[in-house]
Amino acid sequence: MKRLIKKSVPNVPDRPVKILQFGEGNFLRGFVDWMVDVLNEKTLFNGNIQIIQPIPKGMGNAINVQDGLYHVLLEGIENGGRIQNSRLITSVKGVLNPYENYMDFLRQAENPFLEFIVSNTTEAGIVFDPTDRSPEVVPNSFPGKLTALLLHRFHHFDGGSQSGLTLLPCELIEKNGEKLKECILRYSNHWALSETFISWVHDNCIFYNTLVDRIVPGFPREQINEIQQRLGFKDDLIVKAEPFHLWVLQGPKDIKNQLDFNKAQLNVIVTDDLGPYRTRKVRILNGAHTAMVPYAYLNGFIEVREVVENKKMEAFLNTVLFEEIIPTIDMSKTELESYTREVLDRFRNPFIKHRLLDIALNSIAKFRVRVLPSLLTYLELYKKVPEGLATALAHLIVFYKGNHKGEHIAIRDDESVIAFFRTAWKKSDLDQTLDEVLSNKTFWGTDLTEKKQLSSFIKQCVKSLV
């Protein structure tokens, strides 16, 4: 079987790089990179993506071995019919690791064709790190790297107004574009950068708040041999995704002049207010995902579909969604219930094996953003504990113990988070462990031990699990 490299594929177009992308994970490759590939086919965009690996270790080498080529498989139900198709993605030039060659990374800013920055570094990615002391050495954080890149571009083009970039962060945090800009300005002050650079960022760089929506399970491990035979290539980077996709952009509508989403028949909305779209999606779709993972995994389940098809799990999800999350959202109940039923149907997609452990990446940060607002709002509105959501939090705490009933759990999170739980779970007194976890304001944004009803419920639940 042929390896998927450019020599094996006739007529791979050579396009200028117009997009720098921070992040090489399944989601961006199955969402943004797929969209750019469609734009290249159906419009005059004619641009490629240079991926920047945001952390020292990642998938960069594997992607470069295949010359940036890979397939996206879309499988699911759409308009009542089954969809199964594949697309060879040719829009990715490759991956650059700034930890291996920082100057090559900075030189990407000298590209006159560059127009966009895209990112998805998870909810924990858009942060300011005070230990990043200078733009002269590779910063730890994504916003630090981006500030250094923008500074290099500012100097290379002598601060010209036409050298500004459009930034489209896809991290699932509220006002992601605004927060990314705040981080860049904070680094500018931290590094004592010039006022002219700061003015250039303000005046010439456009930061969109964005919302993304597509379920992307990623690499189809169990079916890979069959799929590769069908495609005729040994492709180790296949990304499986559902057909549904939605990208909401809050900012100037003239982005449509650069990216003709309508002509490409892509489901992209440019709006003045993405708030309602975000609340609905984050609280319901992402909230359901994040709430179900620890509860379902500790109950012996492996994939999303088998969770929603199990009566006990279905009852748990229905309680969480219809009785606890929807009542906390100030939108039409009819509309929210309709969207929720659509989400549950997407979870039942017969073609997708969406592993719970894949969703579990950075679950603490995800729980704070996706689930905790619903839990705390319900507690405030109804003066009682939402037992489904609180049970999910209790299971999350046990999940982060890293083992359950003799089984090791591979926790994927920031090392500082893993180390915190490792230390907390070593305490001989379980109440002390739980008080330390629940009072961690870095995790939850508040001291949850002050919510006496909630704290008591969670402690009882955890004690029944360990």
The stretch 154-176 carries a mean pLDDT of: 96
First to last CA, the chain: 49
Q: Which H/E stretch holds residue 68? A: none
362: left (phi over 0), alpha (psi -120 to 50) or beta: left
C-alpha–C-alpha distance, residues 399 and 366, integer Å: 14
68: left (phi over 0), alpha (psi -120 to 50) or beta: left
Query: How far is Cα of residue 154 from the mean position of the Cα atoms in its chain?
Result: 29
C-alpha–C-alpha distance, residues 39 and 257, integer Å: 12
- Residue 407 CB: number of other CB atoms within 10 A? 10
The stretch 57-85 carries a mean pLDDT of: 90
Sign of the dihedral through C-alpha 422, 428, 430, 433: negative
**In one letter, which amino acid is 152?**
H
What phi and psi, each to the nearest 5 degrees, are found at residue 244? Answer: -60, 135
C-alpha–C-alpha distance, residues 360 and 410, integer Å: 10
145's tokens = 């790297």
DSSP codes of every residue in 293-356: HHHHHHTT--BHHHHHTSHHHHHHHHIIIIIIIGGGS-S-HHHHHHHHHHHHHHHT-TT---BH
pLDDT for 210-221, tens place per residue? Answer: 999 998 988 988
**In one letter, which amino acid is 310?**
N
Q: What is the pLDDT of residue 81?
A: 75
Total number of residues shown for the chain: 466
pLDDT, averaged across the chain: 95
The stretch 29-44 carries a mean pLDDT of: 98
The stretch 381-399 carries a mean pLDDT of: 98
What phi and psi, each to the nearest 5 degrees, are found at residue 352? Answer: -110, 125
342's tokens = 């659509």
Q: Which H/E stretch holds residue 258? A: helix 255-258
pLDDT for 101-130, tens place per residue? Answer: 999 999 999 999 999 999 999 767 899 999
pLDDT for 261-314, tens place per residue? Answer: 999 999 999 999 999 998 999 999 999 999 999 999 999 999 999 999 999 999
**In one letter, which amino acid is 9?**
V
248 pLDDT higher than 80: yes
C-alpha–C-alpha distance, residues 410 and 420, integer Å: 15
Radius of gyration of the chain (CA): 23
- Residue 328 CB: number of other CB atoms within 10 A? 20
Q: Which residue matches tokens 């993972």?
A: 293
Select, from the ranges 271-285, 310-324, 336-350, the one with the highest average predicted confidence (pLDDT).
310-324
